[in-house]
Amino acid sequence: MTARPANAADAKPDAGGDPFIATENPYWELGPDSGGLDSYRAFFRRVGRALPAVLALLRRASGSRLLALLGCQLAAGSLWAYSLVLGARLIESLLRTPQALSAPLLPLDGQVPQPLALTLLSLIAAYLAKLGIDALAEHLRARLSPTLIALAEQDFVDACLRAPLQRFDDPDFVDRMHRARDRGLHYVESVVDQAVALSAALMGLLSGVAALAMLHLALLPVLLLCLLPQAWSSARALLCVQSHWDHSMALSRQSWMLQELASQAEPAAELRSLQMEGLLSQRHRQVGEALRTSLSRLKSAVARTRAWGAVLSGIAQGLAYLWLLLLVQRGVLGPGLAGAAALGLRASLDAVGRLVQALDQMAEKALYLDDFFAFVQQSQAEAKARGPALPPAQAPQCISLHGLGFAYAGAPERPVLQDIELSIRRGTTVALVGENGSGKSTLAKLLAGLYVPSQGSICWDGVDCQLLDLQSRLAQTMIVQQHPLRWPYSAEQNVRLGRIDAEALDPAEADQRLQAAAVRAQADAVIAQLPQRWQTLLNRLFKGGLELSAGQWQRLAVARGLYRDAPLMIWDEPTAPLDARAEAAVYESLASLRRQRTVVLISHRLASVRGADMIFFLRQGRITERGTHQQLMALNGDYAQLYQLQLRLTEAADDAGQTPAPAEPEQRAAA
């Protein structure tokens, strides 16, 4: 069964011909699963996949509470059906013997109460019991919801943290992760309410059906007749909404992106200096306009569908009451039973309304939850599929790369590194240099174990790293990246996070190490200026928090690297934002470190790396030159030309009396 939603094509957004505004979902329309929600089959398949996962999550949150809740709903529904039948019998017997009302209901002289009074008392007792059970069900639901949300949030965070770095370069993965967070996680809370409402409505309907069946079996087709139009219109409207969501996702994302740009601190300065406020505001208005047009088309389509549903449902209800009248006329039902049947029919229809509404909500939320569960389950499956435990890696004497090639997950056809052959011995410093985009940072991340090679291998003392435990390898490695993370914590935590196993250290030793790292990175001067010294919070979003300059942040990042103090130290442009004094201090520290460790250094300032034991020059992902500074100068290749160029620029700056580029380490040492 395949049906297009009413006006699904109309739901496609219109951007007014502005090429800036993408309407075709060019980037996130990925994989066979992301579209195709314009058929009932596809829709229910997705819902069907999410529902068992919702139940499993509810069971994990608290299986006993879930069972108790379902029990309460079943009991409440049964009590309702029981009261309806009792009520019908009461009215019927009153109609048959009206004189029963003239006798006292509860005789005070010790005589047995008449049957009418007993029925009435049972009715009151059933009603009160139903109220009590409803209250208990509400209490259970309220307890279930927070547990479930906490579980789901934890599952999401764990799934993200479990993912290897290269998954974050895959737009498909990132898209699924964002959908899981923005839509799936967001709806976990409401899905509990919808699931409870759904089962309550289902119980209500079942008890209505049971009550009508007890009154007379001929009432069941009547109920079915009323149910169908309502179910049809709701399902069709729901499909329209889903189709709209799929088609307008590109616009919604652009709207969020523009809102982010306008509201975040990071782009605020550049945005203002480029005087882009007007342009962004105009773009946002255009995107909003396109979304609004698309939304109003959707609303009209949904309103039309609902109107047809209401008309058909009205006709069906009219026929149902006509059918009841016929049953009374022919003496199949007494007038009392017919009254109760009308009441039962109305209540069942209300239950159907609630059921369809809950199903509608639940189905919509379940679609988003499907994103969430698919993301979490895939991560769990991948974690389980990881092979047996591998032997731990020891600090290497020699790291060697053989025929190494690498392509990012998002662009597998475009290798970023090719045929890399090199080896690094402990106690030496190697430098990776080359022009922008030549692959230095990528190679550094591969060396650090953050990426897995697409081709070839990285060996530690001759053993392929794929055969070594990754966590123990990471524990032997330190990498300070080009753009280190600015942790929204205190200055002290920003450095101490370099070694989360520091509790294993003697506290005095850890403090000493902290101070030494700060001095070497010249971060001590930064700390001295902070109002609460090491305890100053480094985030302006929190009260009392401060923001540091780029160079001050970098000094803390270098201190963090030194505090970690691993056998393999990788420095990716560690001094780019530093002033000359801090840069000199960092290079002196690195020079003193190399003896016990393996140091990999990336820098565009060739004067800073001329002391390295081996320099590798990269061009378009390949090593094109290798050797010491002297050997490369003698080769007179790319390295030598770049070095001469930088030297000339420094001399020219000196002659012009400008701030010179940082001097060579030897010169600094002399100074």
| 348 part of the interface to ligand ATP, by CB under 6 A | no
Number of residues that bind ligand ATP (CB under 6 A): 14
For residues 46 and 367, is the Cβ–Cβ distance under 8 A? yes
Q: How far is the CB of 434 from ligand ATP (least distance, A)?
A: 6
Q: How far apart are CA 446 and CA 440, in angstroms?
A: 10
Nearer to ligand ATP, 340 or 416 (CB): 416
| Stretch of 126-134, 183-191, 272-280, 403-411 lying at the interface with ligand ATP (CB under 6 A) | 403-411
| 662 part of the interface to ligand ATP, by CB under 6 A | no
User: What are the CA-CA distances from residue 289 to residues 18, 240, 260, 285, 564 (Å)?
Assistant: 12, 20, 18, 6, 52
| Category of 60 on φ-ψ map: left (φ > 0), alpha (ψ -120 to 50) or beta | alpha
Q: How far is the CB of 269 from ligand ATP (least distance, A)?
A: 22
| 605 part of the interface to ligand ATP, by CB under 6 A | no
Q: How far apart are CA 561 and CA 548, in angstroms?
A: 18
- DSSP calls for 365-430: HHHHHHHHHHHHHHHHHHHHHS-SPPPPPPPPSEEEEEEEEE--TT-TTS-SEEEEEEEEETT-EE
For residues 510 and 555, is the Cβ–Cβ distance under 8 A? no
State residue 267 phi and psi, 5-degree precision: -80, -5
Report the residue from 234, 242, 286, 441 that binds ligand ATP according to the rule CB under 6 A: 441
Report the residue from 7, 73, 313, 442 that binds ligand ATP according to the rule CB under 6 A: 442
CA 14 to chain centre: 29
Q: For residue 411, what are its two tokens?
A: 């662009």
User: What are the CA-CA distances from residue 375 to residues 28, 160, 172, 179, 195 (Å)?
Assistant: 15, 9, 11, 9, 21
Return the ∠ at Cα 384 (arms to 380 and 385), rounded to 5°. 115
| Category of 89 on φ-ψ map: left (φ > 0), alpha (ψ -120 to 50) or beta | alpha
- The DSSP output letter for 267 is T
Nearer to ligand ATP, 434 or 665 (CB): 434
Q: How far is the CB of 437 from ligand ATP (least distance, A)?
A: 4
Q: How far apart are CA 457 and CA 598, in angstroms?
A: 19
| Stretch of 73-81, 320-328, 407-415, 581-589 lying at the interface with ligand ATP (CB under 6 A) | 407-415
| 437 part of the interface to ligand ATP, by CB under 6 A | yes
| 436 part of the interface to ligand ATP, by CB under 6 A | yes
Nearer to ligand ATP, 144 or 416 (CB): 416
Q: How far is the CB of 637 from ligand ATP (least distance, A)?
A: 17
Q: For residue 141, what are its two tokens?
A: 């639901």
Q: How far is the CB of 443 from ligand ATP (least distance, A)?
A: 7
- DSSP calls for 570-585: EEESTTTT--HHHHHH
Q: Which residues touch 151 (CB under 8 Å, ≥6 apart)?
A: 57, 60, 61
Nearer to ligand ATP, 186 or 619 (CB): 619
Q: How far is the CB of 536 from ligand ATP (least distance, A)?
A: 31
Q: How far apart are CA 522 and CA 225, in angstroms?
A: 81
Q: How many CB atoms lie within 10 A of CB 129?
A: 15
Nearer to ligand ATP, 335 or 437 (CB): 437
| 634 part of the interface to ligand ATP, by CB under 6 A | no
Region 477-506 residues binding ligand ATP, contact defined as CB under 6 A: 482
Report the residue from 28, 127, 245, 408 that binds ligand ATP according to the rule CB under 6 A: 408
| Stretch of 261-269, 319-327, 439-447, 510-518 lying at the interface with ligand ATP (CB under 6 A) | 439-447
| Stretch of 88-96, 224-232, 429-437, 580-588 lying at the interface with ligand ATP (CB under 6 A) | 429-437
Nearer to ligand ATP, 190 or 482 (CB): 482
Closest Cα to residue 90, out of 111, 130, 117?
117
Report the residue from 439, 449, 611, 665 that binds ligand ATP according to the rule CB under 6 A: 439
Nearer to ligand ATP, 400 or 482 (CB): 482
For residues 546 and 537, is the Cβ–Cβ distance under 8 A? yes
Sign of CA dihedral 291, 293, 294, 295: positive
Q: Which residues touch 267 (CB under 8 Å, ≥6 apart)?
A: 261
For residues 160 to 199, the per-residue mask of contacts with ligand ATP, x marking binding by CB under 6 A and - elsewhere, is ---------x------------------------------
Q: How far apart are CA 595 and CA 591, in angstroms?
A: 8
Nearer to ligand ATP, 425 or 619 (CB): 619
Q: How far is the CB of 639 from ligand ATP (least distance, A)?
A: 14
State residue 628 phi and psi, 5-degree precision: -80, 175
Give the SS3 label for residue 89.
Answer: helix
Report the residue from 297, 440, 496, 564 that binds ligand ATP according to the rule CB under 6 A: 440
| Stretch of 12-20, 405-413, 522-530, 625-633 lying at the interface with ligand ATP (CB under 6 A) | 405-413
Q: How far apart are CA 613 and CA 224, in angstroms?
A: 85
Report the residue from 411, 467, 505, 634 that binds ligand ATP according to the rule CB under 6 A: 411
Report the residue from 254, 438, 454, 490 that binds ligand ATP according to the rule CB under 6 A: 438
Q: How far apart are CA 60 and CA 58, in angstroms?
A: 5
| 416 part of the interface to ligand ATP, by CB under 6 A | yes
| Stretch of 221-229, 331-339, 432-440, 465-473 lying at the interface with ligand ATP (CB under 6 A) | 432-440
Nearer to ligand ATP, 40 or 408 (CB): 408
186-215 vs 220-263: helix axis angle to the nearest 10?
Answer: 170
| Stretch of 334-342, 345-353, 419-427, 434-442 lying at the interface with ligand ATP (CB under 6 A) | 434-442
Chain position carrying tokens 């509790």 = 503
Q: How far is the CB of 479 from ligand ATP (least distance, A)?
A: 13
- Contact residues toward ligand ATP (CB under 6 A) are 169, 408, 410-411, 416, 434, 436-442, 482
